Chain A
Amino acid sequence: MNNYEVFNCDVLVIGAGGAGLRACIGAMEKGAKVGLVTKSLLGKAHTVMAEGGAAAALGNLDTEDNWEVHFRDTIRGGKFLANWRTVEIFAREAPERILELERYGAVFDRTGKGLISQRAFGGHKYRRLAHVGDRTGLEIIRTLQDKAVSMGIFDYPELTIIRLLKDGDRISGAVGYRRMDGGIVVFKAKAVVLATGGWGRMYRFTSNSWESTGDGVVLALRAGAELKDMEMVQFHPTGMIWPPSMRGILVTEGVRGDGGILLNSKGERFMFNYVPEFYRKETAETLEEALKWVHDKKNYRRPPELLPRDVVARAIYKEVQAGRGSEHGGVYLQISHMGADYIRKRLPSMVDQFLHLGNVDITKEPMEVYPTIHYTMGGVTSDPETCATNVPGLYACGEVATGLHGANRLGGNSLSDLLVFGRRAGEAAGEYAMQNESGEISESEISEEVNLLMEPLRRESGENPYQLHTELQDTMQEHAMIARTEEGLKRALEKIHELKERAKKIAVKGDTCFNPGWHQARDIQVMLTVSEVIVRSALERKESRGGHWRLDYDLEDPYWAQHNIIARLENGEIKLSHRKVPEMPEHLKKIIEG
């Protein structure tokens, strides 16, 4: 097939959130010609939704903070499943990346001394999150977007990549379609950086946009790359639950970081009943101490509302199960006691979101919240130093990659993840591209994939892609959400197999000009594959750890504490294996124990 447009570049970056944009900058700094592909318009990627802040041990407010404490918090928060080297690089480099961002033009909130202000957040020992009110993600994406644009990026907005192209073992480019008109574009590239973000659209109640289908993991899987710990999905403790229209939309952890408390229907501050032994030493024991912490963070321990997300999400689930839930089946999150002026200053977009969309004035009334799908810790396996995958020429960074967050991500670690590993991936891909010649692209791979893409438009009648999506969301919500069992997961797997068969017979009306039904027909295929890997990995991990909670294996297991689950595609089948978590060197172990 010859009917396509060709774009030649050194490095192709797929995804234009924080990681993708930072990768572009890194690759351009190495002299590479960079193409950037995004499914939305530039600046609309999921990074824009991040509210609380970017974690970096700058020590601007709590001078005791340093990279070692950040390292310790992240490893512990991730329940020891993270790659120690990834975390070490991250904790060491995050401050530098934040300061660099400021020099690109980001304007963070300031301390009294004129430095970047830092906010308290779940699982972080000290005030660590650089922030701009509660719209930090917007600040970061716009800053990176402006920087990349000023450096001369070649961007392809509203384009979906459907397959990575290979020359033998190595990457040679990618093929995709323009959402606007269905035009096929072939990218010839020496290196490809995957920065496609996470996947939450296969769940019914999610804080994720339509984009979060998991394209990156499926592209990687099909190109021969390894996935790791795909069962690790993060349920953010506080999503909106009412009105139904807003169900799943995020309520930032900043609410709790700034003094917000969780209450059940009896008015009890129930988090005091859910403090794990592991965190007891550093958590407030009494209501009084927790109240004092709000105004004096140096002399009092943090309230239990700021335990890591997995702990808080499970506690909310248990309260509701025990019949102590709120009117609409969640719990109450209250910040009104902090005073209207303070709330408006610290959390302006939360005030706005609840007032306009939920008819709730959070300066006066409590919010109703329940866990929502938020983030994916698992993903494409990549090297800590370079973000290289096991496929030559293919790199992965940001949420699509894995290794940093282990079994549970700490709030605020995602934005700095994008910066640290976006840069590393971009620079490594840029260097690789400058040292290697272009590979060949395969016409047969392109025509095979484009054929599959067009099929639903050729069928007169068949399955409705929206119907399949609804059924998948119901299944994942019921069986693969916060509390999992073998029986439920097996049922989910059966349903996924059924949906996969039906997905072969999808028919959509209309043409290739901005046709959401046709887009959905493609996206559902991707989501089904991702769902299958999540469910199969969740069946495999017979323990509870972080985001993965098995009601039938309620405890942590020493074997699984040391093993990641690897997923690969072999002859079209997903194969799982166990791999030992890399052993941490002694000097780092001391930091953890200290």
Chain B
Amino acid sequence: MATVTLNIFRGNQEKGYFQSYTVETFEGMVVLDAIHKIQREQDASLACRWNCKAAKCGSCSAEINGKPRLMCKTRIDSLPIEEPIIVTPLKTFPVIKDLVCDVSWNYEIARKIPPLKLADEGSKEPLRMMQEDVERVQEFRKCIECFLCQNVCHILRDHQRKDIFFGPRFMIKLAALEMHPLDVEDRSEFLKEVAGVGVCNITKCCTEVCPEEIHITDNGIIPLKERVADVYFDPIRGLLRWLKTP
């Protein structure tokens, strides 16, 4: 019977260690299956989050051999198993226990975002939008909030500057609103002053880890940067703004 060994982080933000577990493998097994097997057969106190087990809910994010991934979408046979598989929690957020992080910061950020605003608010008429005009927005709305992009963003991960940048997940949330064909809210000042779109230095790490293959940087963040630049740094618009200011 083939087996695989996993070295899994146990502990919390203050202290922790790696515990080694060996489990039998089966066809198509993913890392999340291995975790469940350990919980059932060896250690019921090993903590992880999961829900759908079909890469649709974004709950089981972790770092597998140092790479941020969904545990339910990572097949064991896609990893080198001569060496133990190393499973650690997301680094950017405080560890509650084992593989479970405190991601509540993301939910606080979500509260700050100005929602969709339609010109004909209060009307019950069906909206008219063409498919080609909503395709980009639909790409961003594929996001399953696994927060892997937040986890690899240098500004959040290495510099821990959650105070100046909302992170890629919320850049595309803002982009989805800004590019909604019927939205009339102006978020350019918000983008620049509050969400910190200017801080992103376009390393595209977020795009690389996105399990939904959303082109976060190219299709989301760069157009937002251009939008802000148009409003704030275009000399003619700057002059117009100066003239309009009472």
B145 within 8 A of A: yes
State the CA gap A42–B50 with chains docked (Å).
Answer: 13
Supposing A103-B118, A146-B115, A245-B26 touch, asked if A40 and B73 sit within 8 A by C-beta, the answer is no
Given A514-B98, A515-B45; A48-B110 close (CB under 8 Å): no
A529 to B180, alpha carbons, bound, how many Å?
A: 47
B220 interfacial by beta-carbon distance below 8 Å: no
Surface stretch bound by B, among A216-224, A254-262, A350-358, A491-499 = A350-358
Cβ of B73: which chain A residues have Cβ within 8 Å of it? 356-357
A520, B176: Cα distance in complex, Å? 39
Report the minimum CB–CB distance from A317 to chain B (whole Å).
23
A107 touches B26 (CB 8 A): no
- A48 close to B30 (CB less than 8 A): no
**Chain A residue total in the interface (Cβ 8 A):** 69
Query: In whole angstroms, how far apart are the Cα atoms of A133 and B75 in the complex?
Result: 25
B47 at the binding interface (Cβ < 8 Å): yes
**Residue A6 at the chain B interface, CB threshold 8 Å:** no
Q: Is the interface of B mostly helix, strand, loop or mixed?
A: loop
> Does A115 interact with chain B (Cβ within 8 Å)?
yes
Binds B, one of A24-32, A134-142, A163-171: A134-142
B interface residues, how many (CB within 8 angstroms): 57
Residue in contact with A49 in the complex, picked from B52, B123, B138, CB distance below 8 Å: B52
**B244 interface residue per 8 A CB criterion:** no
B238 → A minimal CB distance (Å)? 32
Once the chains are docked, how many angstroms separate the CA of A158 from the CA of B100?
12
| Contact of A44 with B51 in the complex, beta carbons under 8 Å | yes
Cβ B56 vs Cβ A349 within 8 A:
yes
Bound complex: CA of A123 vs CA of B28, how far in Å?
34
**Interface check B15, CB cutoff 8 A:** no
Q: Once the chains bind, are B44 and A509 in contact (CB under 8 Å)?
A: yes
* Closest residue on chain A to residue B100 by CB atoms: A514
Q: Contacts A110-B134, A242-B28, A466-B39 known; A146 to B110 CB distance under 8 Å?
A: yes
Within 8 A of B (CB), among A104-119: 104-105, 107, 109-110, 113-117
Mask: chain A, 238-249; 1 = CB below 8 Å from B; 0 = not: 000011111001
Q: Out of B98, B144, B180, which one reaches A107, CB within 8 Å?
A: B180
What is the number of contacts between chain A and chain B, taking CB atoms within 8 Å?
A: 167
Closest to B33 in A: A245
Residues of A within 8 A of B97 (CB): 513-514
Q: Is B202 an interface residue (CB 8 A)?
A: no
Chain B residues with Cβ below 8 Å from A96 are 124
A533 within 8 A of partner (CB)? no
Query: Which B residues lie within 8 Å of A42 (CB)?
Result: 107
Q: Which of A107, A132, A243 has the most CB of B within 10 A?
A: A107
For the complex, give the distance between the alpha carbons of A147 and B59 in Å: 21
What are the residues of chain B within 8 A of A99 when measuring CB–CB? 124, 126-127
Q: A180 an interface residue at 8 Å Cβ cutoff?
A: yes
Which residues of chain B have C-beta atoms less than 8 A from A591's C-beta?
A: none
Contact between B28 and A246, CB atoms less than 8 A apart: yes
Contacts of A116 in B (CB 8 A): 126
Closest Cβ of chain B: how far from A525's Cβ, in Å? 16
Contact A244 B28 (CB under 8 A): yes
Asked whether B239 is an interface residue with its Cβ less than 8 Å from the other chain, the reply is: no
Q: Mark B90-131, 1 if CB is under 8 A from A, else 0.
A: 000000111010010001001100011010000110111111
A267 within 8 A of B: no
Q: How far is the CA of A209 from the CA of B29 in the complex (A)?
A: 17
Shortest Cβ distance from A249 into chain B, in angstroms?
A: 5
Interface pair A210/B51, CB less than 8 Å apart = yes
What are the residues of chain A within 8 A of B123 when measuring CB–CB? Answer: 103
Known: A49-B54, A109-B131, A357-B73. A508 touches B144 (CB 8 A): no
Q: What is the 8 Å Cβ interface bit string for chain B, positions 154-184, against chain A (1 contact, 0 not)?
A: 0000000000000000000000110010000
Q: Which residues of B contact A139 (CB under 8 A)?
A: 141
Please report the C-alpha to C-alpha distance between residue A242 and residue B190 in the assembled complex, in whole angstroms: 48
B131 touches A147 (CB 8 A): no
**CA distance in complex: A214, B233 (Å):** 56
Does residue B58 face the partner (Cβ distance < 8 Å to A)? yes
Establish whether residues A357 and B111, one from each chain, have CB atoms under 8 Å apart when the complex forms. no
Question: CB-CB contacts of A306-343 with B at 8 A, as 1s and 0s?
Answer: 00000000000000000000000000000000000000
Per the bound structure, the CA–CA distance linking A139 and B139 in Å amounts to: 11
Which residues in window 417-441 of A have CB below 8 A to B? Answer: none
* Cβ distance A418 to chain B, nearest Cβ, rounded Å: 17
Cβ of B237 within 8 Å of any chain A Cβ, yes or no, is: no
Q: Are A138 and B56 in contact (CB under 8 A)?
A: yes
Residue B46, interface by CB 8 Å? yes
Q: Of B26, B44, B180, which is within 8 A of A517 by CB?
A: B44
CA distance A139 to B140 in the complex (A): 11
Hey, which chain B residues are within 8 Å of A517, CB to CB?
39, 44-45
A105-B126 in contact (CB<8A): no
17 A–B contacts from the bound complex (CB under 8 Å): A40-B49, A41-B103, A103-B127, A105-B177, A110-B130, A115-B126, A116-B126, A139-B141, A149-B110, A150-B115, A210-B51, A244-B26, A356-B55, A357-B75, A358-B28, A466-B41, A515-B44
Known: A107-B180, A358-B28. 4 other contacts (CB 8 A): A44-B59, A133-B138, A137-B56, A180-B100
List A residues at the B interface (Cβ < 8 Å): 40-46, 48-49, 58, 96, 99-100, 102-105, 107, 109-110, 113-117, 132-133, 135, 137-139, 142, 146-147, 149-150, 157, 180, 209-211, 242-246, 249-250, 349, 352-353, 356-359, 464-466, 470, 508-510, 513-518, 520
A-B pairs, top 6 by smallest CB distance, nearest first, are: A243-B28, A517-B44, A510-B45, A245-B28, A114-B128, A514-B47
